Amino acid sequence: MNSDRSTSTGQSGTTHFGFRTVDEQEKAGKVAEVFHSVAQRYDVMNDLMSGGMHRLWKRFTIGRAGVRAGMRVLDIAGGTGDLALAFAGKVGPEGQVWHTDINSSMLQVGRDRLIDKGVLLPTVVCDAEHLPFSTDYFDVVTVAFGLRNMTHKDLALKEMQRVLKPGGKLLVLEFSRVAAPLAPAYDWYSFNVLPWLGQKVASDQDSYRYLAESIRMHPDQETLAQMMREAGFPRVNYFNLTAGVVALHEGVKLF
């Protein structure tokens, strides 16, 4: 489960790193430290933290993507490669799936996992705020559990819109605002169980406390939908999964 890339607070040059306020220039490095630390135990922790639900959330995302043979797909913050692996089986030899992440440790784990499964994909370290791809190139762009870690979400969303073809689809799978009746139990779990699991399994309590904090700093469902509209996706829908623990946002680029 990836952590928080929050939007800038504006002219102050500061942003959020969990509940802390830090200089914008520091955030990328701090997020990098989190994922360098957790990369090797990332998949195990995902299963433990979500009770395996992350696999269902990703399966739903893959289904909504509607990827077909010959398509070009960009997976941003692709990490250990769950989505890239699934899309590779759908695009066939005529299509492309680009497996990307800003964090080299996560990308290496994902690349090795893909190779172990006999899948060779272009694997690129890149920043979602400055994508190294041509305009109107991809049919589908996905980002799962990565948007909330980005310093300037608005810039990243605009870059995703830029590289999509007209008619192309962006899918953002991310932690979101849980239904109100569940909030107290969810908060207790997030701030007590997650750091404890992080210490026991990944020997890293702080990174998983940051995860819990970053989720609270991420825009809620409606706010993110509006951000996507402002980035050039006039048609945006979202689906609450597991009572809003996670939401899948879909945006279509019309022109």
Residue boundaries of the structural domains of the chain: 30-180+206-253
pTM score: 0.90
CATH fold for the domain made of 30-180+206-253: Rossmann fold (3.40.50)
| C-beta separation of 2 from 149 below 8 A | yes
- Distances, alpha carbon 251 to alpha carbons 76, 83, 108, 173, in Å: 15, 18, 29, 12
User: Is 223 assigned a ligand-binding role in the annotation?
Assistant: no
Token digits of residue 176: 């979101």
Tokens 């993507």 belong to 65
Query: What is the rounded distance in angstroms from the CA atom of residue 176 to the CA atom of residue 125?
Result: 26
Cα angle 60, 64, 67 (rounded to 5 degrees) comes to 115
pLDDT digits (tens), the chain, 255 positions: 333 333 333 445 888 766 777 788 777 777 778 888 888 888 888 899 999 999 999 999 999 999 999 999 999 999 999 999 999 999 999 999 999 999 999 999 999 999 999 999 999 999 999 999 999 999 999 999 999 999 999 999 999 999 999 999 999 999 999 999 999 999 999 999 999 998 998 888 998 899 899 999 999 999 999 999 999 999 999 999 999 999 999 999 998
**Annotated binding-site residue? 80:** yes
Match 């699934």 to its residue by tokens: 86
The whole-angstrom separation of Cα 1 and Cα 212 is: 10
